[in-house]
Amino acid sequence: MKNNEVKKEFDVTRIKFESFLENLTKSWSFQRPLTESIVYSLFTGGKRYRPVLMIKAYEAFSGKEADEAILLFASAIEVLHTYSLVHDDLPCMDDDDYRRGQLTCHKKFGEDIAVLTGDALLNMAYELIFSAIKESGYNKNFIDAFGLFSTLTGAGGLIGGQVADLSFDKNSATIKDVEYIFTHKTCDLIAVALTGGAMLADASEEIVDGIKDYAYNFGFAFQIADDILDGESDGCSILHVVDESKAKELLADYTQKAINALNGIENTEFFKEFALMAQNRIE
């Protein structure tokens, strides 16, 4: 599979997902301006990596096309990811005025509405997963994936990573500090998407373990590439603990580990090539 084929597959799945998400939003009618702020935050140019990876994992290991239950679960992942970004941008956190070239939620709607938008999105993620479970006929795989979602996005996962990021000191940070933040702030949600997709597909324990290993190594590589592209900043960055040359070595190493994690597992060519494509962003 070539890069252009991977990109085409990704884009086809992304378009399908975005159409589903857009249709979902048409049924929302909350207290103004909450509906507007939620929809605005969800459609500010996100690349949809996480929901697409969940859908692709499900389809790869089930041999079936993603149905409404899978798309609802994938929507929950994107909704929760968006909540984390809305809160991450707040003045009490990273204090960003722009995200993806557009005003952040608090700059457009006010800090109070941004806080409530994040709260609403977080709660909505759980509503969507419950809808997915119900749509699946209360399939045990969906309930197990829900447990994984809850664990990896909570205090010991994504939120814990954000807390560590807030106390990051670039002048005294170690590689272990960066690894902890990467693991939880970036990789845990990617692991939910990929591992969850395999679980929903009723994949074997070997496949679930392999795709989980892939997810964490891919997540590390993806974040390292982002840091290289962004250059040095005041926040957490691999470039505060190693130079760019070493960072590129680590990027190549984690990418290869991700690919190796899938050796012997069928229907994973897309994920292997996707990892290489993500690595090649720095070229």
CATH number of the domain enclosing 18: 1.10.600.10
pLDDT recorded at residue 1: 64
Residue 134: C-alpha distances to residues 21, 127, 145 (Å): 18, 11, 14
Number of domains in the chain: 1
159-205 pLDDT, tens digit per residue, is: 999 999 999 998 899 999 999 999 999 999 999 999 999 999 999 99
pLDDT recorded at residue 192: 98
Q: To 10 degrees, what angle do helices 269-279 and 205-230 make?
A: 20
Portion of the chain with pLDDT greater than 90, in percent: 89
pLDDT recorded at residue 232: 72
229-250 pLDDT, tens digit per residue, is: 988 777 899 999 999 999 999 9
pLDDT recorded at residue 100: 85
| Cα–Cα distance measured from residue 86 to residue 3, given in angstroms and rounded to the nearest whole number | 32
Q: Which domain does 37 fall in, by range?
A: 3-282
Over range 243-268, report the average pLDDT.
96
Question: pLDDT band at residue 16, thresholds of 50, 70 and 90?
Answer: very high
Model confidence, pTM: 0.95
pLDDT at 3 over 90: no
